[in-house]
Structure 1
């Protein structure tokens, strides 16, 4: 993982609506955006950033790129990501949502072979507070600190970051793994990254109903993670039997080992409780649980 202030960042889809809006925010936050790629716009500059038609051309001019942030349309995302991988970029953040599942399968196969980290799709990206922004997180909600925040959600990630910030608890990193049916990096992968990160003292995991990623994360935490983890699951009051969530991801429980209620808030909460992981009932409870995990005095 190379998410440091001097990391060199490329924006693919800089001329797309979201790319044109958020690239200046990323640069203003201190992100080292060295180039953009938007076919047909090569030779132009955008907020002082040179724009190229191809990733290969960009690299030949500006040099090595550490991370690409992709804003292109869903049906162009696979080609954009594969182009970045072919050019040697090994960290890719997919802001785009609605990428066809088979395209993601193809991308993840290539990413596995090349050891490329994929974040997203349907993700606001990554923020290292006070250092760099890779995506669309509202930077004003975050402040530097030692709480690692990983989430499936987008806006809920911002809300919890703000709760932590207002409680005087800064964050080491904020990551949304994405809300589409098939995503790149997983909760266990990021749990391991943050467990090894010297700037992270406690991890807050934000899940939601649908799928089994939170149950898998609970198993993994119990087996492999040494740092304290706090969990929060959104969707406690969602009606049972109705497919909800970013991707309608409640899967057929009959093929899962987690039980017949897989995908529900209760299933996820019970999985964390079995792993002895504190679970907040509301976002507002998370700061106190973090303080307790860090053995800090409670605020009155």
Structure 2
């Protein structure tokens, strides 16, 4: 494998690795939307790394790229590279950014990254969540549920911030209140926050911007006292159909493998598994 390029310029990273990422836009949805957010100035700054293959460190059509990693604090780094490439990226980023505190990626790739980090720091790694990435191009309508979908507005902001924090606590994401507020504000401003109403708000679904033809559904949150009534199924179906109607080629979402119910729900809507993804937390 070739050299590693590391930089803080999201636009340069896109020019070097964008073509490679877009070859598998569902698998790289998180990376593509992270880069899109930073390019638009809607993020808080990031670190971008490219592992070159034998021909170099990449150009605009994706040739020469063997893997990438992106870290946009306070989120974990996200890696996409064969395990041996993930190990090289881990070493390169550890050398420059010792405070990097976690990684997410396809299961064997993230495991390779985490293993190298632990071996070179003496720290410990633990699994924050085992996930499954799904994709959909045709919605299978669920059974009707009472209520209706609507886009969220400014009046819903405080509730959605509280629900986002609750979702993060349940899912071990936990980037913090300030990030939850920023995410909700952007979702509402872009009309990408949706709610299911049934005698009041019953469920919340957000969706990413469509990048490379893919929109990613997240978060999906139903408060505990409103669960098991079909609200999440109905709202995810409605949102997925809306983004497909608006021009997305496919929708993507992640599920928690520890929650078999959600996996069955989304499969019933037409979502198909793409890859298993693991998130790790690092502790020195």
- Alignment TM-score, normalising by the size of structure 1: 0.31
Higher share in strand:
2
Higher RCO by CA contacts (8 Å cutoff, separation 6 or greater) = 2
